[in-house]
Chain A
């Protein structure tokens, strides 16, 4: 009789752990996938339409603005973005991301000095983006570009594309 009761007790204890484990797994797995799985349709194109540059004069760098569509969860945000374009000839352009590679300040083109100058800590870059004066240690970030007809398309920056 006692052995039967002990057996029943052991069965109940084992069943409690097994059933509770099953329920916890069935709840935990979807929760884990929900938290750490990648949403569908998350992938988005790297290319951004930066606009018609046929009227952009060759020579001095120009800052252009354009709209970038970013997928952000359930919404798509259209945000304004900018870039510096150095046009040497139609079809021959170099485009730089608009932030200094030192600490991310917005730099500008100093027409008199003929350099890209950062107002925050005095870094200077050449027309081709090379560091002329620190504290910045690496050249300006340059976009991968493509020209279709008259339109300029910007891909990733070359540094991020290589990494």
Chain B
């Protein structure tokens, strides 16, 4: 076979050592010879790896590479999540829950993406802090810094737009606050709100626009800016230290090793976080849930807290004015600092500003965390899927009585083997509520079981069964059928004692008493038990009568109440 001669391109970099090694490989594998002659990829990679870097470069310079790695990880996990996601307000939540609950390794992939976003913010902040401390933004690297600030803003924009996509209560209400803040922007406010598709409330338009931003516009902008940032880094080189430590060295292998080790350590922590920490997902977004207290992600908590310091007409100063000033100051850093001092120990002002900014951010974030309601999930929540806690108590209790009354002898809830009665989801069940009550109580059901059909179900129980059937759809029923028994037992106690007459849970029930959603974040188990025994002692003026449950009932209702989502 004739071997094509390798043509030395006029633009090919000549790298001592690198070329020799590449040429040796090329001689061994004709395919590489052909590929190299056509693309020059190998030479480009060698050129990239053999970049001259100052001898002073070391561990502080690893953050840029780690940030780039995290961007790639976010892109990979983001694509994987996108193939199981629908950006519509009635399917987004279910698709995310599907990834978490049913897709193999779905929880891990979502964990990597969710926690990866936080790691990104930390890493970009550390990278910028290092550049700031070392004065690496100074002439001729001003534009490199400005592009870096733009990339920081894009990182935050990714966090902001991605926050809405799971379409749970947390996402909905936190984004609502964000949109309201944006609406306060002078001149641009109304246009921003309109662009976000949130003129009246958040809905299908908002979700699809945030999704388009998150997966189309922001990634495209990030790719372009990272490319430009890297080009500028190569053009101007890595900033040398204040004192030359010797002749320049090559990026590969020593600095490359440091970068890869830092990436390995970061990824190991991220992997462990994704494996062992639950990614929060609350109940599906409920625009009518006015009791919900929204919280942004941790890196925006300082802004959230700052709004508390500027009230009334001063609010736009905290929400728009100061953040805009801070961003402008970041852009202006290379032009404000005209000194030539690069030695870190002599950069007292820079160290002072960095410490002050960190302390301010830390204090505001700590203040926000301290003033947040207790969010830690109680032990009762463990092992109970969030999905199962979304149903109304009547539906869960109805399912309990469906199982206990052996309705399943004649009916499938959604699907199953052949039975005498129709499948309850999807069947022609356009019977009036009264008919259903009679059926549960008497003739048909009794006849089917060959007995006289007298029922011992209470009115509340009959009502729950009726609600179960009225709301049953194939989709709904499949999810409901997977609800764990302890939750169903608790809902039965709740329904049998008519708690729903005064309290609201998942949009169902009265409003005389407070909503019980998220009660675990507001009250301890002990407080709730004491409140059952003597409501007026803890809530003076309450009209709630005392309840004395059996131990079994008490365990069941506490498991249920403490599991209720926000």
**CB <8 Å contact, A15 and B261:** yes
Question: Roughly how many angstroms separate A45 CA and B101 CA in the complex, as a whole number?
Answer: 20
Does chain A have a CB within 8 A of B263? yes
Q: Which stretch from B30-38, B89-97, B145-153 is at the chain A interface?
A: B89-97
Interface residues of B in 438-486 (CB under 8 A from A): 473-475, 477-478, 482
Interface size class of chain B, counting residues whose CB lies under 8 Å from the partner chain = 35 or more
**CB <8 Å contact, B426 and A35:** no
Complex interface: chain A residues within 8 A of B264 (CB): 19, 22-23
Count: A-B pairs, CB below 8 Å:
133
* A85 CB, nearest partner CB in chain B, Å: 16
Complex interface: chain A residues within 8 A of B428 (CB): 51
The chain A residue sitting closest to B73, CB to CB, is: A27
Does chain B have a CB within 8 A of A56? no
The chain B residue sitting closest to A26, CB to CB, is: B271
**CB <8 Å contact, A151 and B475:** no
The chain A residue sitting closest to B254, CB to CB, is: A12
Does chain A have a CB within 8 A of B84? yes
* B421 CB, nearest partner CB in chain A, Å: 7
Question: Roughly how many angstroms separate A149 CA and B419 CA in the complex, as a whole number?
Answer: 8
Question: Roughly how many angstroms separate A108 CA and B420 CA in the complex, as a whole number?
Answer: 30
**CB <8 Å contact, B412 and A49:** yes
* A74 CB, nearest partner CB in chain B, Å: 3
Interface digits, B409-437 against A, CB 8 Å rule (1 contact, 0 not)? 00010111111111101111000000000
Complex interface: chain B residues within 8 A of A160 (CB): none
The chain A residue sitting closest to B253, CB to CB, is: A12
**CB <8 Å contact, A78 and B474:** yes
* B40 CB, nearest partner CB in chain A, Å: 23
**Residue in A26, A47, A69 whose CB lies within 8 Å of B418:** A47
**CB <8 Å contact, B91 and A37:** no
Given A13-B253, A47-B418, are A40 and B102 also a contact pair (CB < 8 Å)?
A: yes
Question: Roughly how many angstroms separate A41 CA and B102 CA in the complex, as a whole number?
Answer: 7
**Residue in B76, B417, B422, B473 whose CB lies within 8 Å of A45:** B417
**CB <8 Å contact, B415 and A45:** yes
Does chain B have a CB within 8 A of A105? no
* B72 CB, nearest partner CB in chain A, Å: 9
Interface residues of A in 33-92 (CB under 8 A from B): 33-35, 37-42, 44-45, 47-49, 51-52, 67-69, 71, 73-78
Find the residue from A20, A77, A151 having the highest chain B CB count within 10 A. Answer: A151
Q: Which stretch from B103-111, B196-204, B213-221 is at the chain A interface?
A: B103-111
Given A23-B267, A47-B417, A76-B475, are A34 and B260 also a contact pair (CB < 8 Å)?
A: no
Residues of B within 8 A of A (CB): 73, 76-77, 80, 84, 86, 91, 94-95, 97-98, 101-106, 108-109, 112, 253-254, 256-257, 260-261, 263-264, 267, 271, 412, 414-423, 425-428, 473-475, 477-478, 482
Task: Return 6 A-B CB contacts under 8 Å, by A number.
Answer: A12-B253, A27-B267, A37-B104, A45-B415, A47-B415, A147-B418
